[in-house]
Amino acid sequence: MSRLALTALLLILVATRVFMFAIMPLANEDAYITFRYAQNIAAGNGAVYNLGERVMGYTSPLWTFAVAGGCAMGIDPVVWARLLSLGCDIGTLLVVRRIMGVIPGNVFGFFFAGWAYFAALSASGMEMSALLFLAALAAWRRSWWALFLLAVTRPEGLMMSAILAVWCRPRTRIIAAVATVSVMAALALYYGSAVPNSVTAKAAAYGRPGLLAAKQWWAWTFPYNAMPQEHLFTVAISAVLAMGLATGVPFLWATRRSAAAALAAAGLVVWATYAVVGVAYFWWYMAVPIFAAGFVASWGLARLKLPRAAHVALASCIAISFVPSTKSFLLRNGQDSLFRTIGEDIRDRSSPLSRIALEPIGHIGYVTNMRVDDMVGLVAPLDRSSPGWLGRMLRERKPDWILVRVGEVRGRAFAGGVPPFLSTDDIANTLSGYRAVKVYGTSGRSGAAGDADLALFEAKGDQP
């Protein structure tokens, strides 16, 4: 019976991932930033986004070099990233089941295999599936290499690795720490800092509003209408989730020396840190909170000895919600498709040696392969702290092309509260050397351009 249940869970996991791969042809916008780094590594250009500019614009050294390995073999980075993610998801299911045991492992396994969010993570091209797998592996094996790989997966992985190290022997901690510090030192020597530029840039652009302003990190655990769209379906199981959490936390505390308690602690601390700091919301960041909540709740539900009908109802809710809950991810993939189309249009209008300033650098930067001046500062240093930052940037760098939000051309800040220009005169002076080429609608509405639409400008007298 146990083997039959495991086989069924693995089949469900593979089916949901393959289904999501099929309906989402493109990876996530931010994944293409990593893909461009990976392709430059594979081509021998170094771990850079723009050739000759050493800026660490990716958050995962491990994932970037893993994707680069696929690029070196001639495999499309989207295909390779999804294969790696699928393998990691299978590994997560197997390892967590070993940690939890059969019954709670089956409860968690169905949630992990059947919930659309985790399938979308596999399709995203991001490193989150690897992060969850390595966290589970490090909690289970308590080996230095698992702690090390987890630490260099993401900043959250470094935090989780430090927490899980508490459950390990001193020798294991020391070896893992030495290996991690060695990689950080190498990154610092190469880039000038071991802290990803994307981390500091996002914090500067989107701010850190704190606990009460960051409802997205905790509101989804109970019926509440102010939550990210892809988690609206957790409302249907929030009462069961809360009940499982209330029971699971005390039990894990009572068995706090176990691998399960270690993994739960690592996930819950990351979740709490997100909420307290008010980290800017990006949908893939929710991977650790959703994983931790489901893990702990599965422990509690397995020990409540609920009637079989209750488990059937919960499983039915998860299964029934799968297809409708994919809509938010399809909407995002539609946005990705739009950015891809914009990138192809700009590529056809320009030359690869051109320089472009823009904010959505993922698909567009990947497709055009132009030198990018990043308006967020993910892959290029940028000071957004004082009014007029965008005008100063454009006048200093003089890009051949500018792709800017219409609202910013109107003087409004698109992300963060700092005005991009000092005045209407500042806007006019900055754009005086450019001609308007096209406005790309991002909302799907017809009529006058909205603030979120993208306006393309070309430098005068420098036509391709």
Q: pLDDT tens digits, residue range 71-84?
A: 999 999 999 999 99
Asked whether the CA dihedral 177, 264, 215, 88 is positive or negative, the reply is: positive
| Phi–psi pair at 355, nearest 5 degrees | -120, 135
Categorize the per-residue pLDDT at 416 as very low, low, confident or very high, splitting at 50, 70 and 90. Answer: low
pLDDT at 391 over 70: yes
Please check the confidence at residue 464 and state whether its pLDDT lies above 60: no
The position carrying tokens 């299911």 is 93
Average pLDDT over residues 186-212: 79
Q: Cα-atom radius of gyration of the chain, to the nearest Å?
A: 23
SS3 label, residue 360: coil
CA–CA dist 189, 187 (Å, integer): 5
Whether the per-residue pLDDT at 38 is higher than 50: the answer is yes
241-248: average pLDDT: 84
pLDDT at 59: 93
Q: Mean pLDDT, to the nearest integer, of 148-153?
A: 98
CB 221 within 8 A of CB 293: yes
* Closest CA relative to residue 134, chosen from 187, 176, 169: 176
329, 347 in Cβ contact below 8 A? no
pLDDT in the model for residue 463: 41
Please write the tens of the pLDDT for every residue from 174-184: 999 999 999 99
* Alpha carbons 219 and 464: distance in angstroms, whole number: 50
Q: Which of 142-146, 336-340, 415-419 has the highest mean pLDDT?
A: 142-146
- Is pLDDT at 256 greater than 60 in this prediction? yes
Q: What pLDDT, on the 0 to 100 scale, is given for residue 275?
A: 87
Identify the three-state secondary structure at position 404: strand
Mean pLDDT value of segment 248-255: 89
